[in-house]
Structure 1
Amino acid sequence: MSQRWSRKKSRLPLAGLLFILVVTFMILFNERSIQQIHHHAASHTQNLREPSTFDFVKPNVPRINYLGAHGFCFEKNAEVLDRFSKCNSTKEYSGKKIGWVDPFEDHPGQVTKEEQKCDVFSGKWVFDNSSSYPLHKESQCPYMSDQLACQKHGRKDLEYQHWRWQPHACNLKRWNAIEMWEKLRGKRLMFVGDSLNRGQWISMVCLLQSVIPRDKQSMSPNAHLTIFRAEDYNATVEFLWAPLLVESNSDDPVNHRLSERIIRPDSVLKHASKWQHADILIFNTYLWWRQDSVKLRWSSEEKGSCEEVKSAEGMEMAMDSWGDWVANNVDPNKKRVFFVTMSPTHQWSREWNPGSEGNCYGEKKPIEEESYWGSGSDIPTMRMVKRVLERLGPKVSVINITQLSEYRKDGHPSVYRKFWEPLNEDRLKNPASYSDCTHWCVPGVPDVWNQLLFHFL
């Protein structure tokens, strides 16, 4: 008995020594791993901007509240921004930026433009008066928006419906609604963004709905997320209102005309909770950043405390937060993500007709000069967006609508749409003063954006 006890006792120091060595090794290994992670993150964030003197914030992180000394913790989302949110105080901008790392970054640093023999984004508009154009009829689409139904609201010249996009060195894949539905069978196709992306969504629904029996299709009521469903294909074509991509006080799809725009620059989680399960995602953002400034409400800041930056800076933060979500949540083998570049406006006719003082009102033909570039498309913004997309590599495909849409000064609703506010007598005498030169008539230019999407799918 005493011998057995003495043998056990003699082994304890050796076992203790081995335990200490193992623990020491694990501590050193973990410290080294953490240093490597920090070094890896730092090397990426330093590449975001030079010089690297900013305080970088990790985006899309739910807030964690710790309950006293017990050590228990639970997740609690920051105050949700809505149209009633206000800035109780506005501090000087702290200089914080969004820092993110793609944990699976093994792709070349370039924007994915799909494997193609020619650049389908470089070409010209060709008038096509054949029976196949337009690709759908405005009057035959029950889901048409009054904001885009130009023929319904009095436009007599219908040539805008008959222009076909022709790439220089190849042909764009011809639209086929049945083939598109087969690509969507059992899937969710979701457009996410602003009213221009909603216009593309309406175009897609109008292009697709005619081949579905009326009793086999349905549309949910207009809301934050609006869904068109095709029963026979077990498929949906959806639109999610998220004009700034990140959470904001403008996320109400109807009541979003606010004097003070507030965003949560480090979080897309509110919207991502709705888009994360879609199979094919089409994002856009740009128009709502065309203003002087925007207020920031960081997730870590107390309720009502804001900072203010120029809108271009705010958009860059939003794109980085969106990029972080894509980097950490998208497997391109399972989910397709597209980003639609900026849609140009045609507010100043002097840009294509020197000496004139109008806008898109009365325009009936596209611009023929291939080098044309108007003030409605901002090159610094395009470079910033390109930087984010390049970091995401094959996780995002680009639908470059900007140059081809620049030519279509004739494609806007102008005065041929429903206006939600009464027009006074002075404005009615000057149609150019209330022309919509931002959105697009449907059928029209957005149908070509969807043809490009179909081409890549």
Structure 2
Amino acid sequence: MKAPPPSSAALLRRGRLSPYLFTLLAFILFVTILYGEDFSCFFGGQFEDYRPYRSEQKKGEKLAFAVGEADGGCDVFSGRWVWDEHRPLYEEAECPYIQPQLTCREHGRPDTDYQHWRWQPHACSLPSFNATLMLETLRDKRMMFVGDSLNRGQFVSMVCLVHKIIPDGQKSMITNGSLTVFTAKDYNATIEFYWAPFLLESNSDNAIVHRVSDRLVRKGSINKHGNHWKGVDIMVFNTYLWWMTGLRFNILQGTFADKDKDVVVVRTEDAYRMAMKSMLRWIKKNMDPKKTRVFFTSMSPTHEKAVEWGGDEKGNCYNQTDMIDDANYWGSDCRKNVMDVIGEVFRKSRYPITLLNITQMSSYRKDAHTSVYKKQWSPLTAEQLADPVSYADCTHWCLPGLQDTWNELLFAKLFYP
């Protein structure tokens, strides 16, 4: 006959654990479970859960465009910034395709240190960006960036990285509504950007006039934009910033043509989940994983509150020329409940999607924003001019600069997944 299992009291005595200590440990466990999401935001575990859905080929299967494999066990998104005298990879004045909202030196930025930092993964090194390889790979093909102005910045960075080896007269950049197309004529190749900040149809779809405070997204409407994406060989999606209007979001059930609009208010993470699922359904229906590649760029951080890195309580990224040196830094723009949606939805996808996890590395770079060094949409008031913090852009990034590194990561994961 088996002896009865020991009681919990006996276990406490056997392990020399007092009831008081047991109660304390139970309380700590309860608090950790209850507030674990907030702790992970502040202590740097932001994207650990997302590693399982990095695009990794099955055994014996080769992803499209791959020419080799990354070093085993190397996470290129985990690393540090190191000074590099050979940076930047191009000069601002050499690339005529940079929008005036991103040409910081032209608009008076006096320092250049922000251009000289290189991302160094902890366990390996990134392959050097090879413009010739990129263009040869794109021969007779299309590469497209789809999303908001941050994705447009990454698109322009890619154009700047490759255009120098293309002779004058053999390249062009044309914008028609939401679509901007850079063409390398000798290669019959295009690098394109399509404005769709929510991916779905919205009241923010005008590529020029889109500063909308009362944002509205139409449910199940991805084909409105998706019809322009068909035939693309390498796709880079992003969508995040425009969803961050609060805890709730407006979803249109009918159409924008309806006189009486049926609008429901849902949690922001539920609205975001709807968009992610729509994107995945479109990808599955319209892209061939044996011939095409899909990337998704994670959240681009903002630096609106200097107090979060030990700065002035009223400050932001204005006049910041140094990086944040705290490896665990994570700003208050962390919305883990929304970012968790990416892991939840992508993990269920059978289509190989590569996450470009630029969030943590970019969080250190409070020095790299356009700040006040850009073309302003409207004349500044006397009050604004007296207080540069009030109009500093702490969302977008100077070029050349941080977004070139995003494309180095894209290059690495495209050719060495």
TM-score scaled by length of structure 1: 0.73
- Alignment of 1:388 onto 2:342: no
**What whole-Å deviation, never above 9, does each CA across 1:206-265 have from its counterpart, x for those lacking one?**
111111011000111352111000011110000000000111121110111224222112
- Counterpart in the other structure of 1:192: 146
Alignment of 1:50-449 (within 5 A): 110-114=52-56, 116=70, 117=72, 118-130=74-86, 133-292=87-246, 293-299=248-254, 303=258, 304-353=261-310, 356-449=313-406
CA RMSD of aligned residues (A): 1.7
Distance in 1 of aligned mates of 2:188 and 2:293: 18
Distance in 2 of aligned mates of 1:151 and 1:274: 35
Alignment of 1:8-23 (within 5 A): none
Distance in 2 of aligned mates of 1:391 and 1:418: 43
Q: Is the 8 A contact 1:111 1:394 kept in 2?
A: no
Distance in 2 of aligned mates of 1:354 and 1:444: 23
Letter in structure 2 aligned against 1:191: F
**What whole-Å deviation, never above 9, does each CA across 1:390-434 have from its counterpart, x for those lacking one?**
112442111110011011010000000011111111111111111
How far off is 1:144 after superposition?
1.0
Letter in structure 1 aligned against 2:123: A
Distance in 1 of aligned mates of 2:170 and 2:151: 25
What runs of 5+ residues in structure 1 fail to find an aligned partner?
A: 1-108
Q: Count matched residues.
A: 347
- Counterpart in the other structure of 2:38: none
Distance in 1 of aligned mates of 2:402 and 2:408: 10
How far off is 1:320 after superposition?
1.5
Letter in structure 1 aligned against 2:91: K
- Counterpart in the other structure of 2:37: none
Distance in 1 of aligned mates of 2:335 and 2:249: 18
Letter in structure 1 aligned against 2:185: E
Q: Is the 8 A contact 2:55 2:352 kept in 1?
A: no
In 2 relative to 1, CA 445–302 (structure 1 residues): closer, same or farther, beyond 3 Å? closer
Q: Is the 8 A contact 1:368 1:407 kept in 2?
A: yes
Distance in 1 of aligned mates of 2:148 and 2:213: 18
What runs of 5+ residues in structure 2 fail to find an aligned partner?
A: 1-50, 57-68
Identity %: 49
Letter in structure 1 aligned against 2:54: T
Could you list the structure 1 runs, at least 4 aligned residues long, displaced by more than 4 angstroms after superposition: 299-302
Distance in 1 of aligned mates of 2:257 and 2:160: 45
How far off is 1:369 after superposition?
1.5
